[in-house]
Structure formats: structure tokens, C-alpha cells
Amino acid sequence: MEKDYIFYIEYGAKRMTVELIYSTGTGLFQEVLARPWLFLICILALTALLTGVTALLSREWLQLRHKKWMLSLHDLYEQAMDRTTDAVLILDGRGTILSWNRASEELLGYSKEEMLQQPSARLVPGDRRLIQNALDRCRQEMLLPLKARHKDGRSINLLLTLQPHNHFYTATLRFDEFKPVTVETTWHGDKDVLTGLPNRTAFLAYLEEQTAIKTFAFSVSFLSIDSFPRLAEALGRKPSERLLLDMTDRLQTVLPKGAFLARWSDCVFALILPDEDVALAGIWEQLRQKLKQPFSVNGLQLFAPLSIGTCFYPQDGKNAEMLLQHAYVAKRQAKQIKDTSVSYFDASMMSQIERMFQLEADLPMALSKQELELHYQPQVNLADRSIVSAEALLRWNHPELGLISPLEFIPIAEETETIVPIGWWVIEEALREFHQLKANDTPLQQIAVNVSLIQLERPDFAERLELLLHRYQVNAACLEIELTESIMQESSRLTGVLEKLQEIGVTIALDDFGTGYSSLSRLYSLPLDRLKIDKSFIDDIAVSPSALNVVHTVVYLAEQTGLDVVAEGVETIEQVHMLKELNCLIYQGYYFARPLAADALKGTLRNYQIPKDVPIGAGM
């Protein structure tokens, strides 16, 4: 007879089923079954065997799982540690470094490979027991100031926060505080040889440290002496170095203790200041006052205004690169104003600066591509209502951006010194045009050109001008050179060239008079022929008694000193009447004519009939 036996073997939660099939007529199994004690032994042996195998398998399995789990946990932990912006280390009870994250790497320059399993004493070579002593005492969170050594050799003041856990400690490192390094006292890093200030490398390192702290707001500024390259060329090395040293002194006298001032490049200083809005505005104001005094160099009295661009950490940039770029953009903006001026970065400046860079790149080719053109704005004499002169005004027809105002591209041309070839082109073109007009017997007595200071102070300016006058057979007295008031700041240096021009016989007008730096004494000392009263006074002449007073005074002053006056930007009949009353008899402005292309000017001159009364709408 055949019979099925089914056995259940239980191991832990697992139940195994062993089915034994035997047939009554067969050998060994029948024998075992016939002896119950043998049967029991077999069952026990089988159970032990299965238990052992199962235990072995599940231990291996658990170990594998555990290993995998630990690996992924470790990965996660590493990633998390590397992403934290704080420098965090884990130390065991003996101070051995068990974990070193990326922020620690950035802070102290050592990689994980270099620091893992190393004694934490390596961080503070000056006091190797410092951290160990702290660990021995550490029962709860404690702070430990220390002087750590960066891999590059710098020593850095850090604050270590120790946190005890069961068998290990976490240690967070951060800069001790906003530790301003004042130039004259504590700085021992890379120095600029001339001024003794920290140099560009030192400034960068310091800025990077400050952005790493993340808790303190501060400002980053560039302060540029824009006129310095020209001054240096004209004065020579020693005197220009003297000027830089004087400038450094003036800066240091207005800067507070927390300031970090560095020499960024030849004529640019870089500055970090703890962020206090009011204090910053006060500092700039003091600086402005200081720079109103001329620098005395080689017996010359020179002015050196600064263009200051400022941005703030963290709102304008979270890292050094961003902050430097934004401070630079703001500085470029400030540069457009000729006097010492401050510009604070704002996001809209980025598109302006991109345009500026495009213009800067395209400008050198504008001449050869014939994109430049001169327009001419007539000047009228109210005494006899004749057109007496015309001012040549530059226009740039940019192939993509359209017509660009000279107010926008002249400063760029000045910065890149493209203004010199452009300026010569303007003079030559104006003389060529004037020569033609004269050949056609026009009543125009003079042509005026605007000349940039950068071109004027080239040593060969007067000679080249004479050559051109000769080439186009234009009498020197028929050419007027318009200079902006900023020449007053450089008057002592420019007297020579101005006197030379006077000798040649060209006339000199001071443009935009009233907006800048003119002092009466300097006005008297320069060989000028004419003052052009700035449009801003003319705008208000009919509505503001003080504007009227200014114009009145300028006219009086001009009469006393034998200068002519011209009113700029006259737009209304009321203004014309007022000017006539004030005896300011020559004017230019939209009221009579806008700047005209050469052909339109010729047409206007040809058709102009002297009106009985004040001139009305001759050109447009």
C-alpha cells in the first residue's frame, strides 16, 4: 500500500513543506519508518540542516542589504554635506577628521583626500592642542576662536562651533567676524608697491572671504581717476605717481576704520565697506569736498575727479565675480558725468552696458564705413538778424541701432581714445564744407567745431590744425573751437596750447557755460573769446528769476572781460525777447533752426532773407 507523508518544518516566520512520498513496497525508507527512533533522528538532522542553510542565507542577504543601504545613505550624507554652504567637519573623540565637506575645502584650500583621517590639529599649526583641549571639555555646544592656516599659507581668523554627540563631534567653521583690515595697520598680504595698499590679488581674496561669511552686508566700489591716463602721459611717471599718492591719502582720510581699500589697477581703487547707507552717502560727500581742492603736481594745480560705481552684497551679487562686474557697470555709468560722481548698480544698467560695449566695438570702424556725418546748426545775430556762424555737430548712423546721439557715443569715443581720429575727421570735414560754402559766397563768417580735451592736449594739436587750415584755405579767424567747461580744471596745463591757438588766430568758445567748474579767476586767466551759456539757463529764463539773473550776470561779466556770449538751446520767442533785452545778441536753437545736413544748410543760407524783426523759422 502506498502512502503520502507531509511534514511541516517551521523556521522563524518561514514555513517549509517537505512532502515525502513513499511506497510501502520499497527499501530504505520503509526501514526507517519501521524504526521510530531512527525516524526521529532523521527528522532532527533534516531540521538542523535546513535551519543552518536558511540562517546562513538570510545573514548574507541582510548583510548585503545593509551594505547597500549604508552606501546609499553615505552618498546622500556626502551630497548633503557638500551642498551645505557652511564648512562642517565631523571629528571623533580624539579629534580625527571623519568628514570634510566642500565648503571646508573652499574655506581652507585642502581637499577631502588631504584631510580625511588627519588630526584636526593640522588646522591650527600655531596651537596643536587647541582643538583637542576643547574636545576634552566639550559637554555642550561651545565656540572656539582660532587662527587657522589656509593651504596657501594665509592665516585666517575663524570661529569654530563644536557640538558634542554620542561618540563624535560636529564642528562648523566660519570667519570670526567682519574683520576689516585697515590699510595702514594690519594688512600683511599682497601689497601694491607704490601706494602700500593691498593690490588686486589681495582685494579679490578678501572679497571672496567676505562673500563666504554670508551674514554681513557690505558694499563694493570701484573709484576711478578717469583723467589719469592722460595726465600720466602729459606729466610723466614721477609726477603722476605723486598724484596717485595724494589721492590715496585723501581717500584714506575720509574712509572709516572698517574700510578695505585696495589699488585695483593703475588709476582704479577698489573698496569694501560695511553696509551702512547713510555712512556711505556721507563718505562720498566728504570725498567730493576733498576733490574740489586741486592737486599740486610739478607746480601745476590739477583736478582729478573720481567716477565711483557701487553695488551691494548680497542683493546685487552673491559672489565676488558678480559683485565686481556690477560695481564696474555702475562705475561706467558714473563716468558719463564729468565731475566726481557716484552711481549705484541697478539691473537696468546691464542692458545699457551691453549697448555701450556694442558701440565701443563698432565705433572704430564707423569712420572707415562712412557712418559718421556732420550736421550744422546756425547761429543768428539778433542785432542785424544775420546768420553768423554754424556749429558742426556729429551724427552716427549705426547700421543696426539707427541714429546714435553724440551724447551717447562721444564719451565712449573719449574713453577708447577713438575721439582723436574722429575729432580730426570732424575738423577736416567742417573746414572742407566751409571752404565750399565760402566758394559759393555765403554770408557765414565762421564755423564752430567741438573739440575734446583728449584731442586738444595731443602735443601736435596746434600744428596739425594749422596744416588743415592751410590745406582748405580757411582763414584761422573763421574757425571757432568749442571746449567744454572741464578744461577749466586743467587750465594750468592747457594754457600753452590755448595760447598757441590764439596765436594762430582761431577763436575759442567755452561750451555749456554755467554747468561746470568755472571760477572767475580761472576764466580771466584763459585766452577765451566767447562763452556759450548752457541751455539749462535759457530753458528757465522766461520763468525763473534766478535763471534770468545768471544769464544777466554772465552777459555783464562777458562785457567786462571783452568776451562774446552765445545763448544755446533757444526754443521760444519769449526767450528770444528776453535775450535781446539782456543784450545777449547771438543765439542758436530750435527756434531758429535745428542742426541741418550740409545740403539743407546750404539751402537755408541761400534762401535766407533777413527778416525785419527777430528771425523766425528760417531753417527747421
Which residues form the interface with ligand C2E (CB under 6 A)? 377, 393-394, 405-407, 410, 426, 450-452, 482, 511-512, 568-571, 588-590, 595
Within 549-578, the residues that bind Mg ion by CB under 5 A are 568
- Give which of ligand C2E, Mg ion, none residue 168 binds (C-beta under 5 to 8 Å, depending on kind): none
Least separation in angstroms between residue 532's CB and ligand C2E is 7
Least separation in angstroms between residue 374's CB and Mg ion is 13
Least separation in angstroms between residue 589's CB and Mg ion is 11
Least separation in angstroms between residue 537's CB and Mg ion is 11
Q: Which of 101, 310, 333, 450 binds Mg ion (CB under 5 A)?
A: 450
Question: What is the 3 state secondary structure string of 143-155?
Answer: EEEEEEECCCCCE
Beta strands in 405-487 (DSSP E): 446-450, 479-484
Using left for φ > 0, alpha for ψ between -120 and 50, and beta otherwise, residue 483 falls in beta
Q: Which is nearer to ligand C2E, 426 or 605 (CB)?
A: 426
Q: Provide the grid cell at 179.
A: 574683520
Q: Which of 342, 257, 340, 356 is nearest to 295 (CA)?
A: 340
The interface mask with Mg ion, positions 493-532, x = CB under 5 A, is ------------------xx--------------------
- Give which of ligand C2E, Mg ion, none residue 405 binds (C-beta under 5 to 8 Å, depending on kind): ligand C2E
- What is the sign, positive or negative, of the torsion defined by CA atoms of 453, 455, 461, 467? negative
Parallel/antiparallel/unpaired status of strands 218-225 and 97-100: unpaired
Least separation in angstroms between residue 596's CB and ligand C2E is 10
Q: Which is nearer to ligand C2E, 221 or 452 (CB)?
A: 452
Q: Provide the grid cell at 119.
A: 588630526
Phi/psi at 295 (5° precision): -90, 140
Least separation in angstroms between residue 395's CB and ligand C2E is 7
User: What are 91's strand-pairing partners?
Assistant: 97, 169
d(CA 278, CA 93): 49
Least separation in angstroms between residue 280's CB and Mg ion is 33
d(CA 381, CA 264): 52
Indicate whether 485 belongs to the interface with Mg ion (CB under 5 A).
no
Indicate whether 226 belongs to the interface with Mg ion (CB under 5 A).
no
- Give which of Mg ion, ligand C2E, none residue 124 binds (C-beta under 5 to 8 Å, depending on kind): none
Q: Which is nearer to ligand C2E, 192 or 568 (CB)?
A: 568
Q: Which is nearer to ligand C2E, 305 or 589 (CB)?
A: 589
Least separation in angstroms between residue 609's CB and ligand C2E is 22
The torsion of the CA quartet 574, 580, 585, 589, rounded to 10 degrees, works out to 0
- Give which of ligand C2E, Mg ion, none residue 72 binds (C-beta under 5 to 8 Å, depending on kind): none
- Give burial (CB, 10 Å; 0-12/13-18/19+) of 2: exposed
Q: Which is nearer to Mg ion, 344 or 537 (CB)?
A: 537
Angle between helices 237-254 and 228-235 (to 10 degrees): 140
Using DSSP, state whether 1 is helix, strand or coil.
Answer: coil
First to last CA, the chain: 131
Q: Which is nearer to ligand C2E, 203 or 592 (CB)?
A: 592
- Give which of Mg ion, ligand C2E, none residue 446 binds (C-beta under 5 to 8 Å, depending on kind): none
Indicate whether 482 belongs to the interface with Mg ion (CB under 5 A).
yes
Q: How many helices (H) and strands (E) does the chain have?
A: 21, 24
Q: Which is nearer to Mg ion, 414 or 511 (CB)?
A: 511
d(CA 323, CA 310): 9
d(CA 581, CA 585): 9
Least separation in angstroms between residue 568's CB and Mg ion is 5
Which spans of this chain sit near Mg ion (rule: CB under 5 A)? 450, 482, 511-512, 568
